[in-house]
A and B are shown apart, each in its own frame.
Chain A
């Protein structure tokens, strides 16, 4: 603690009636603590870390969406009813594990090998026998082959455009690993290299070898005669169609939080900006009927990452990507009337001549103004708390972690891999600078040896000088009324380890004010093991 901070603390001193503890005071608190009330803030199992959303359901029917309808509905309308903060969070502001989301790298650091492995459970499709192509899909604008390997596993084969080798397959592999680390359900995606003879048409597929040849020949061929594809293993379970980014599924009783009120979907905007996934729309999601026959429930996946980073299945992304929605009347009118001379500055961005990378850069990247192709109801409702939740996860990716994940993209040219790595590091830092100042940027609260310990994320990542002064006010917290209750002490300190008040109460509250940035309020519950952090609230200045 700095001398200045000590001086300030001594000056503030301690206040409150619990300086001298009295028996009557304890009993008052005890009675308050145990009185049943629906209004009480913290329930016995708070903070909830597992959302019990696997109630057995009757299998719903597969839902088929119209991409065109979604486009118009989201562009010219405003789907979703919930306004306000995210609802599916626990009292710490975290997203409990659920059929949507699993807390991974941020709360439980993954070794580099696990980050690189991502969701993969095998080494990819078996090459012991030719892959039987059973169908063709063009949902993603480019033809893909649905095939079955010798083990009977079903994969979707996706290819790169001929003139831009690796641009799409590398991006999808990399994005899969990142989204997995962030906590989402994603399919297992593998890079495969194969001779044309590895593909055979299955009986009854309606496809001919010519159809296969047409599709495969559109892909770049390596000097050794092989083709490269991304083999996306279809999630286990019966596919039920995409989920929506607003409302709930009426045939799924487990789906009780409006999707636009789900923090993991609102915060997905930050992750999507980081990875330039501008087609984060309904169509690129998937509900799957999971579980056993005795208990079936729906799991929710993000799918289709081929249009992340700088390109997609058709080549480099248009320069619009991330800068403008697909339809914005004002900019269109301006460009029309000025013959294109009045267009915005991003039109002049010069991208590196890397065909396998496309249009990805960090210099002009602005996380707050980044937008997907089509307005997303959950993204539209992202607030500072959602953004903070996501941004700290992005910032939690070390240089080594980013380097390790990008290496899984299988870029032939080291320059491409190095550029993507460096660019993602810079985009990560911009995200941190944009969002981490919320309420002081404090996180990782815990009680250790009678100290409330936390981390100033901005200082951790070098965005601010360490040792910033903060004003801490301690209160007894009334869990039944939710009111701050009796003040205990107020100190001003630069320390990130705060001694707990000497008073013992069922609940304590610490308001940590970072001048100019806001207040982070931490709630402690007294348990047999001592105090534990039970709640966190953040409020911007």
Chain B
């Protein structure tokens, strides 16, 4: 039996050895043959038109929307910029030149922008961004030919809408220091020039025809100012600070911003006092005090957020002085009471309450239910809670990343109807 087994094993080995001769193929040969067969049919990958269009859109949109990344220059050293001139100015674009690219902390920008509503402006900013100290020098000129005005006070009727033109020049400087991780403080000084003229919107009556000097302080003469200000803020929100954050308080910036859309928790407190001292003859000196508090209360680890904001802008004059109407606090629009148009209400003083409940429904989309209450008034005695304009509505916030809201749409409802607003860019 053993001899038989040995014989069989020998035969097995011998036959296995000659099996290729008998036509037995290996696995590797089979796979190699399949590849040889494909070699004869090789063709370049086809890219459909849809894919090409999608790829093109991705590349071009990155130039516009990816504001985190230095954009390729249009011309050497010159970049294309969008928006940033004025809310309500229409579609805006311009060019920015940054000639001090070789320096680290120091920078200089020169830019010009223009809009489809014939707004235009030019600005230069030279500054130092340190880890702790910041300093800016700024100069800006803006031509704003179609500013809207409805009258002063909470009862200004909508059908009194008129327009005016404002050319504004400002030059000055700001210094600030990061006191600690959460506290920032500083001051600024500026020279401010304002020139009022007839608005260029032919569909609206001119402000001079609609309102008289008795109704509108500052309309009868141009006023130049020396502006001195000081500010401080405490910020514990979970939004990342960036260099240049202090420029938020520069007079070139719009102070009354919207609620932070990216914050999920924390507190923001800011106080700023500015003294407007008229240069030359006239009685237009005043002091502006702005107070703001924002609180963000996270629910479900921040997937739901209750955001609250209180804001007050109060002016103080003495000795028969007045505040020019175009420098008065104003309410209306996407950052204040969202059921009214931009600049719908103006007055010497303004208070504002915002409450917003937002929740993430998708990685790229938050929804928000909001309610706003705003009130402008001439004297403190005239402030009544019942006089506040109340709006409410629904908002959509679009995220460019998990940490960042890139744009928003708000549909607000007020006693004057619905207003739809869209905004792009970063929000503090």
Contacts and interface: CB of A to CB of B under 8 A. Distances in A.
A351 B357 CA distance: 23
Nearest to A48: B27
Contacts of A48: 27-28, 31
Contacts of A317: 402
Interface string B56-79: 011000100010111011000000
Q: Chain B interface secondary structure, helix, strand, loop or mixed?
A: mixed
Contacts of B12: 30, 33, 506, 526
Interface in B354-381: 357, 359-364, 367, 369
Contact of B51 (A34, A66, A136): A66
Interface in A185-241: 196, 206-211, 213-215, 217-218
Interface in B22-67: 22-28, 30-32, 34-36, 38-39, 41-47, 50-51, 54-55, 57-58, 62, 66
A33 B15 contact: yes
A250 interface: yes
A254 B35 contact: yes
A251 interface: yes
Contact of B98 (A196, A210, A255): A210
Interface string B93-133: 00000101111100100000000000000000000000000
B34 A30 contact: no
Interface stretch (A54-62, A439-447, A508-516): A54-62
Contact of B13 (A61, A208, A528): A528
Interface string A244-276: 000001111111100000000000000000000
A68 B60 CA distance: 13
Contact of B104 (A34, A209, A318): A209
Contacts of B58: 66-68
A69 B380 CA distance: 59
Interface stretch (B1-9, B226-234, B333-341): B1-9
B213 to A, nearest CB: 50
A339 B304 contact: yes
Contacts of A163: 240
A535 to B, nearest CB: 12
Q: How large is the interface on B (under 10, 10 to 19, 20 to 34, 35 or more residues)?
A: 35 or more
B415 interface: no
Q: Chain A interface secondary structure, helix, strand, loop or mixed?
A: loop
Contact of A339 (B98, B359, B362): B359
A332 B361 contact: yes
Given A66-B58, A209-B104, A339 B5 contact: no
Interface string A318-331: 11100000110000
Contact of A253 (B1, B38, B51, B104): B38
Given A26-B8, A254-B35, A256-B34, A90 B27 contact: yes
Given A339-B304, A349-B301, A211 B55 contact: no
A253 B36 contact: yes
Contact of A314 (B19, B55, B402): B402
Interface of A: 21, 23, 26-27, 30, 33-36, 38, 40, 43-46, 48, 50-53, 55, 57-58, 60-61, 63-69, 90, 136, 138, 141-143, 161-163, 196, 206-211, 213-215, 217-218, 249-256, 314-320, 326-327, 332, 335-336, 339-341, 343, 347-350, 373, 504, 506, 526-528
Given A162-B240, A347-B300, 5 more contacts: A34-B24, A43-B30, A63-B45, A65-B51, A318-B363
Interface of B: 1, 4-5, 8-9, 11-13, 15-16, 18-20, 22-28, 30-32, 34-36, 38-39, 41-47, 50-51, 54-55, 57-58, 62, 66, 68-70, 72-73, 98, 100-104, 107, 240, 243, 299-301, 303-304, 357, 359-364, 367, 369, 401-404
5 contacts: A21-B1, A65-B55, A138-B62, A250-B46, A504-B8
